[in-house]
Amino acid sequence: MASTSDLVSIKMVADRLYRNPLMKDLSYEFIVDNAIQILRILEAPSLFSTRREALNVVNYRAMKPIDMIKVESVVRTEPGSIPVPLTASEDIAQEFYHQSNNLPSRSDETYSLNSKYVNVNFEKGTIEVIYKAVATDEECYPLILNNEALLRCVESYIKYRYFDMLNDMDIISNQKLNKAESDYMFNVGQADSNLKMPSVDEMEALVNQITQLIPRTSEHASRFEFLGSQEQLKIQA
């Protein structure tokens, strides 16, 4: 995630939108909801902050953090025990474990997600979830990267969504709606390319991953902390 100095409030986008006379009645709620929608669509890691939260497992599940966009890792944490990373489950019935007395026997610990819960295959305990969330300011308004391509993208997406609503009510013409859609399609492509361009340090980490001679098969246990580090080989005389 970028530093706080690289972020600006969604209010900056709102100010730009309100310059259009057709958007003078646009509500902040509409702006915020649609800004979060387009950030989800873009899915660029630099757009989100990383957060950590401890959750209590009761009856095979724990309530998800309300601001979770994407889970990064789930770890079982018990007092006096070594933290155990959980793996994502492919068991489609896992979210119903809390309703059943006849559970499958498994040696590994797994998790799955639904709209409200983190589901696990152990009855109770504590888990630590590391996840991505939209950064917010002190008034809980979203913060976004101070990147002109991104600002234009968010602005044009909100405009397109609002014009679509106005068009349904016969307030604006199809021509204006089509122009708004065309602007959004161009700007989202520009923002997507701009945001996904790796930095020099990210490129170095990627090269290190590709050029490893010895496969690293236990990275999950360390949450992939050293995956992009340079390989160290010991040469014996």
pLDDT tens digit string along 56-86?
999 999 999 988 888 989 999 988 888 889 9
Label the pairing between strands 110-113 and 87-88. parallel
Q: Taking the mean position of all CA atoms in its chain, how far away is CA 68?
A: 7
Residue 225: is its pLDDT beyond 90? no
Judge whether residue 48 has pLDDT over 90: no
* Residue 151 and residue 157 in contact, taking contact as beta carbons nearer than 8 Å: no
| Distance in angstroms (rounded) separating the CA atoms of residues 237 and 233 | 13
At 88, give phi and psi (nearest 5°).
-65, 135
pTM of the predicted model as reported, rounded to 2 decimal places? 0.66
Mean pLDDT of 201-226: 54
User: C-alpha distances in angstroms, 237 versus 26, 67, 231, 234?
Assistant: 73, 55, 19, 10
Q: How many CA atoms lie within 13 A of 35 on its CB side?
A: 28
Residue 100 has pLDDT above 70, yes or no: no
Sheet with 61-63, strands from edge to edge, namely: 84-85, 68-76, 124-134, 48-58, 61-63, 117-120, 110-113, 87-88
Q: Where are the domains of the chain?
A: 49-134
Structure tokens at 214: 């010895």
pLDDT tens digits along 161-178: 999 999 999 999 999 999
Average pLDDT over the chain, rounded to an integer: 81
Contacts of residue 122, Cβ cutoff 8 Å, sequence gap at least 6: 57, 60, 76, 109
Token code pair at residue 40: 């989800």
pLDDT digits (tens, 9 = 90+) for 201-213: 545 554 565 665 5
**pLDDT tens digits for range 117-151:** 999 988 999 999 999 998 888 888 888 889 999 99
Is residue 127 a contact partner of residue 58, using CB atoms and an 8 Å limit? no
Range with the largest mean pLDDT of 2-16, 18-32, 184-198 = 18-32
